[in-house]
Amino acid sequence: MKIEILGTGCAKCKKTEKIVREAVKEKGLNIEIEKVEEMDKIIDRGVMMTPAVVIDGEIKIVGRVPTKQEINQLL
């Protein structure tokens, strides 16, 4: 499984990354997490609002900070 966090580095993007990393760590999963900050790459994915969470190439959350419970459900 691969999780990508799309965001330019704003506070909401950083919070999303923190929540995702905490959820993965708490579950003890070995999941690749990548932070994508390049606007061209984000737009190429069709994402116009950040932060966004992409799991295995599928956009799951866009334009808001998810809760840890939401991330746990997606894992």
* Catalytic option among 10, 11, 48, 49: 10
* Catalytic option among 5, 13, 19, 71: 13
Residues listed for the chain: 75
What DSSP state is assigned to residue 39? Answer: H
Active site residue 13: yes
Cα–Cα distance measured from residue 75 to residue 21, given in angstroms and rounded to the nearest whole number:
12
Active site residue 47: no
Cα–Cα distance measured from residue 60 to residue 26, given in angstroms and rounded to the nearest whole number:
20
Residues forming the active site:
10, 13
